[in-house]
Structure 1
Amino acid sequence: MNSRVRRRLGRRSWSMPGSAEFEIIHRRAGVSVRYYAPAGAPEAGPVPRTPVVLIPPLAADIQIYDRRNQHSLVAYLSARGFDLYMIDWGWPTRADDRRHLSDYFAALLPEMLNRVRFHSGRQRLALHGWRLGGLLALCYAAVSPADDLAGLVLLDTCIDYAACPAAGRVRGRLRQRAGRWRRLTGLRASHLPVAALHVPSWLQLIARQAVLGPAQPPDDDALRSRAYPGGVVADVIDHLWTDNTLAAGRLPMAGPGAGLAGVRVPILFIADADHPVCSPVCGERLAAMVGSDRVACEWTHGDPKHAGCGALMARRSWTRVADWLLDPGADQ
């Protein structure tokens, strides 16, 4: 069946006030996939052939991608002619506390991306991940065949959790305390009941303000956070904060398995030069750990009105990202 016919059969269009129209092409276990059709052919330049999948962090309100006047990344990429998809992780509840990071990048994300492949009629996809969404995209690339991906765009994705900028000292102290607790007791966060580690959205608001301070406007869309499942929080404490597994080239999951050396696709890494968490060391560490020899690391300055959104809202980088997605790795 023709892919464009499949897009229309049995699908319903949705939209929010002030946002682009989309279709939900798949939904399971609280996770769904949105499809945004191209807003006509691009006025100039080649027509994109590779579908792009936006992968948000688990806790971010995904309306941040498409609810800002003059700041809609969805509208921009659609106008450039891309077949655009977005993963909506849903609103995690306590019933999802048993989910770990590996459940997302090795189970749920592969299922969602396979649905994108069926819907688009194309096997190779380009992934665009922001913050923890970039981590999930990177880990997916490590456990998947290289032929399935055309490239990765990673925005403000922390690779080395030991290299905290000055504004990230709060998280650095938490990391040190987690390590001290393990040395003294021999306990890991995964030994605790996952329900005890559930982080509701209101608590994230307090933590975000503690880390970002006055850099985060009180009305920023990113503050309307979603909850973090307890199992994910345990993995963040054990694998990312305490063990710093990504900086060593390992994936945040229990037992031996694939590592970052298995990532062999082109990567464009962009981070906000003033980001409070993602330091320049992250780009260097990424290039050293992955198996790809086509890694471009760039720094930008985000929109001062929405400082907490970093590279995602840096409009000056949107053209760079879109041009790179037309032919990932061509300029490296």
Structure 2
Amino acid sequence: MSSQTPDKGAAGGFAEMTDKLLKAGKLLSNIRDQDVDVGATPKKLVMRRDKVELFRYEPLAEQRVKTPVLLAYGLIGRYTMADLQEDRSLVRSLLSQGLDLWLVDWGQPNRTERWLTIDDYVDDYIHAAVERVCRETGHDRITLLGICEGGVFTTCYAALHPDKVKGLVLTITPIDFHADRDDPDTHHGFLNLWTRSLDSADIDRLVDTYGGLPGEFMSSVFSLMTPMRSLTKYNIDLIEVIDDKAKLMNFLRMEKWLADRPAHPGEAAKQWLEDLYQENRLVNGTFTLSGRKVDLRVISAPTLNVFALDDHIIPPTCSKALGPLIGTKDYTEIPLPGGHVGLFVSSKSQGRLSKGIAEWLAARD
């Protein structure tokens, strides 16, 4: 009898897997690309400048924070990470708490944006967006909400245009690009270490060849940072959820966001990698935009700094470094559990991030 038990177990497991795959096949056959919708929260186009677009989100609740909030994501990836799906969306959560939320969307840069610099993104595109938001709402100052590289852009803007910024909210934003050396977690800072190891001439050759940092190149870099996760997500993670439509859609939306990685404009990429990652100019006071030094001490707006405690891409130490450097005395930190992306899309973090931001803004409105 005992010799037959494994055979019965194997047969049962095979039948269970067959049923699961049949159900999965029916699910997948009915899913179209338009069903895997990311960034679907309703919004209205207000302004277009080159490929950059300014949107205003439609309200989902009575407005409780009067000062408009402009969201800026980075150039490495798309803003849709903050609006992945209805139940995992920082955008929807903030709208539900009564914010007047706006978005600057960088579009899909390619070789035609080869010569754009961070100067252009901060002093032209963000500035034009801020001016338009002020004109549309009747406010003379607004709040900036920056995510990752977008947080660096908004920090620079707040330092160069303090009269236009009422509040500054940063999430997973690097400030001191060398602070990972003091991070107690050894798995934090691999991206910083790798970038510092690059030869500047090789960075220049890469950008000159492609006209920027190809999105596929950056995707491979991030995949190599978590190699086992990258290798197993299709033959383990996907199999586990393939017969559950809700979980499968979660998986597909995340994959769609990961695949939608535009090229990073060339000259801006050189500044990002060489001036900031390698030379750490934002902290040592030598980073200049449009001929003006970016002095963090000039930032006078109340500032909220949110970072993820297990962020292996932007280590917490790199974000926390802002505190002693900033000019305002109204400075607040919110450390949250989770990783770089998990802070926005994890079911565990839903509500905590948006509630912390909304309450902080309401107290200063």
Whether the TM-score (by the shorter chain) exceeds 0.5 is yes
Displacement after TM superposition at 1:191 (Å): 8.9
Q: 1:240·1:252 contact (CA, 8 Å) conserved in 2?
A: no
Instruction: Specify the alignment match of 1:203 in structure 2.
Output: 217
SS at match of 2:143: strand
Displacement after TM superposition at 1:117 (Å): 1.2
Displacement after TM superposition at 1:68 (Å): 1.7
Displacement after TM superposition at 1:30 (Å): 0.2
Could you say if the C-alpha distance between residues 147 and 253 of structure 1 is closer, same or farther in structure 2, counting changes exceeding 3 Å? closer
**Residue 316 of structure 2 corresponds to residue 280 of structure 1:** yes
SS at match of 2:264: coil
TM-score, normalising length from structure 1? 0.81
Q: 2:305·2:319 contact (CA, 8 Å) conserved in 1?
A: yes
**Residue 103 of structure 2 corresponds to residue 86 of structure 1:** yes
Question: Counterparts of 1:228 and 1:66 in 2: how far apart (Å)?
Answer: 21
Greater CA drift, 47-56 or 241-250: 241-250
**Residue 57 of structure 2 corresponds to residue 54 of structure 1:** no
Instruction: Specify the alignment match of 1:41 in structure 2.
Output: 62
Instruction: Specify the alignment match of 1:173 in structure 2.
Output: 193
Displacement after TM superposition at 1:153 (Å): 0.9
Instruction: Specify the alignment match of 2:47 in structure 1.
Output: 26
Displacement after TM superposition at 1:147 (Å): 3.5
**Residue 135 of structure 2 corresponds to residue 118 of structure 1:** yes
Could you say if the C-alpha distance between residues 282 and 195 of structure 1 is closer, same or farther in structure 2, counting changes exceeding 3 Å? same
Instruction: Specify the alignment match of 2:327 in structure 1.
Output: 291
What amino acid sits opposite 1:311 in the alignment?
A: L
1:203-255: CA deviations, max 9, x gaps?
Answer: 12101112244567675254121210111211122211221012224435485
Displacement after TM superposition at 1:167 (Å): 2.8
Select the structure of larger CA radius of gyration: 2
Q: 1:197·1:234 contact (CA, 8 Å) conserved in 2?
A: no
% same residue: 24
Q: How does 1:250-329 map to 2 (within 5 A)?
A: 250-251=286-287, 253=289, 257-302=293-338, 307-313=339-345, 314-315=349-350, 316-328=352-364
1:66-109: CA deviations, max 9, x gaps?
Answer: 23241122211212221110010000010101011111112211
Q: 2:172·2:319 contact (CA, 8 Å) conserved in 1?
A: no
Instruction: Specify the alignment match of 1:9 in structure 2.
Output: none
Higher relative contact order (CA 8 A, sep 6+): 2
Question: Counterparts of 1:67 and 1:171 in 2: how far apart (Å)?
Answer: 24
**Residue 176 of structure 2 corresponds to residue 160 of structure 1:** yes
Q: 1:222·1:308 contact (CA, 8 Å) conserved in 2?
A: no
Consecutive unaligned residues in structure 1, runs of 5 or more: 1-15
Could you say if the C-alpha distance between residues 151 and 214 of structure 1 is closer, same or farther in structure 2, counting changes exceeding 3 Å? farther
Question: Counterparts of 2:93 and 2:151 in 1: how far apart (Å)?
Answer: 20
Displacement after TM superposition at 1:258 (Å): 3.5
Consecutive unaligned residues in structure 2, runs of 5 or more: 1-35, 235-250
Q: How large is the RMSD of aligned CA atoms in angstroms?
A: 2.6
Displacement after TM superposition at 1:198 (Å): 1.5
Displacement after TM superposition at 1:64 (Å): 2.1
Displacement after TM superposition at 1:193 (Å): 6.2
Instruction: Specify the alignment match of 2:269 in structure 1.
Output: 233
Could you say if the C-alpha distance between residues 48 and 174 of structure 1 is closer, same or farther in structure 2, counting changes exceeding 3 Å? same
SS at match of 2:321: helix
Q: 2:72·2:144 contact (CA, 8 Å) conserved in 1?
A: yes
SS at match of 1:116: helix
SS at match of 2:85: coil
Displacement after TM superposition at 1:63 (Å): 2.1
**Residue 85 of structure 2 corresponds to residue 71 of structure 1:** no
Question: Counterparts of 1:162 and 1:139 in 2: how far apart (Å)?
Answer: 18
**Residue 96 of structure 2 corresponds to residue 101 of structure 1:** no
TM-score, normalising length from structure 2? 0.74
Greater CA drift, 163-172 or 103-112: 163-172
Instruction: Specify the alignment match of 1:133 in structure 2.
Output: 150
What amino acid sits opposite 2:214 in the alignment?
A: P
What amino acid sits opposite 2:110 in the alignment?
A: T
Question: Counterparts of 1:150 and 1:248 in 2: how far apart (Å)?
Answer: 25
Question: Counterparts of 1:206 and 1:267 in 2: how far apart (Å)?
Answer: 34
Q: 1:24·1:32 contact (CA, 8 Å) conserved in 2?
A: yes
Pick the structure with more helix per residue. Answer: 2
Question: Counterparts of 2:191 and 2:122 in 1: how far apart (Å)?
Answer: 24
Q: 2:172·2:340 contact (CA, 8 Å) conserved in 1?
A: no
Could you say if the C-alpha distance between residues 250 and 324 of structure 1 is closer, same or farther in structure 2, counting changes exceeding 3 Å? farther
